[in-house]
Chain A
């Protein structure tokens, strides 16, 4: 049987975190884009007040972009927090509990944010 461990290990197929790495960068780029789009709208036009602030988020394209950013944030934070738990928390049971709580926290917050966004 061919040797498939050590320096000859099979690297393709298992990804070894490549997807998380890519997700982390794509979601970050989306959030950076959102930041720029929001800043441009805040810095130009009318002085900031409730009308302008609510107006920015009531445009349909901005709602879609903000929704994408909420999902991006949750996914990005999941990858990052999972990395932190995996690095610092070694007991498997405690780590699992923390990871589940992280998911509950992120999904709950994302739901609340979407609710605020879409009742505008």
Chain B
């Protein structure tokens, strides 16, 4: 089977949450140095803190602020989806809520909660409110 064959599958919502759990984990794995850079510049000194805040306004080096914000937005979604889907797993382990219907309804909650929170925080990040 090739990747193009896999894309033909009509995944149930629990399957969508599952593959996005992997995608979001992979995104955070790849962006890990960026996260540590954010931590480093924001916490090391007041001078580096100014560099941190200006990265979101004027960009940093050859990277425009828009790209910095986009990367942070990707991290916000990845973190929220991964964390909520993770709590869903813990909840399923503890309560044995593993019927088809429970899987579907908890998948809807996971997708909705992570997307709504991402939109809210993303709007704040891009200065919409």
* Chain A residue contacts of B25, Cβ below 8 A: 77, 80-81, 84
Give a binary string over B61-84; 1 marks a CB under 8 Å from any A CB, 0 the rest.
000000000000000000000010
How many A-B pairs have beta carbons closer than 8 Å: the answer is 53
Map CB proximity to A onto B87-103 as digits: 1 under 8 Å, 0 otherwise. Answer: 10110010000000000
Chain A contact residue count (CB 8 A cutoff):
23
The answer, among B36, B46, B87, for a CB contact under 8 Å with A32, is: B87
Give the contacts of B27-59 with A (CB-CB under 8 A): 28-29, 32-33, 36, 39-40, 42-44, 46, 49
- A84 and B26 in contact (CB under 8 A), knowing A116-B40, A116-B44? yes
Given contacts A105-B32, A109-B36, A112-B36, are A84 and B22 in contact (CB under 8 A)? yes
Whether the Cβ atoms of A28 and B33 lie closer than 8 Å is: no
Instruction: Give complex CA distance A102, B86 in Å.
Output: 22
Among the listed B29, B44, B83, B90, which residue makes an inter-chain contact with A35, where contact means beta carbons less than 8 Å apart?
B83
Report the minimum CB–CB distance from B120 to chain A (whole Å): 15
Chain B residues, Cβ within 8 Å of A80: 22, 25, 29
Task: Tell me the complex Cα distance, A105–B30, Å.
Answer: 9
Q: How far is the CB of A43 from chain B (nearest CB, A)?
A: 14
Q: 8 A-B Cβ contacts within 8 A?
A: A31-B83, A50-B46, A53-B49, A54-B49, A77-B28, A80-B22, A116-B39, A120-B43
